[in-house]
């Protein structure tokens, strides 16, 4: 989100109560969800895999976290390119 602060600020400034407006937040929601899936993975680091608080689906959480974050990152990159006028300097 810090990489594309100007894009986020422009989306925030263009607030309208329409579904099209909320689609503009999709990349950052996906990246946030990716971070949420990393929380159980990070908290279980160094714990006993047979322990009570070790997530049984740790690898699945990690996979979902990576997938959602990368999808959001690439989508945010595309949104930023469109925001900045597409391909320039090619």
The predicted pLDDT at position 3 comes to 64
Mean pLDDT of 31-57: 87
DSSP 3-state of 61 = helix
Query: Which pLDDT band, with edges at 50, 70 and 90, does 43 fall under?
Result: confident
More confident residue, 65 or 22: 65
Mean pLDDT of 50-59: 83
C-alpha to C-alpha distance for 37 and 62, rounded to whole angstroms? 7
48 Cβ neighbours under 8 A, 6+ residues apart: 54
DSSP summary character for residue 64:
H
The predicted pLDDT at position 90 comes to 47
* 8 within 8 A of 1, measured Cβ to Cβ: yes
Given a cut of 80, whether residue 67 has pLDDT beyond it is yes
């Amino acid at each position: 989100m810090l990489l594309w602060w100007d894009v986020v600020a422009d989306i925030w400034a263009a607030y309208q109560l329409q579904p099209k407006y909320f689609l503009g937040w999709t990349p950052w929601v996906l990246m946030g969800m990716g971070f949420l899936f990393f929380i159980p993975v990070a908290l279980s680091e160094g714990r006993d895999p047979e322990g009570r608080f070790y997530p049984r689906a740790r690898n699945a959480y990690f996979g979902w976290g990576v997938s959602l974050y990368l999808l959001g990152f690439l989508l945010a990159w595309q949104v930023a390119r469109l925001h900045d006028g597409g391909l320039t300097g090619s």
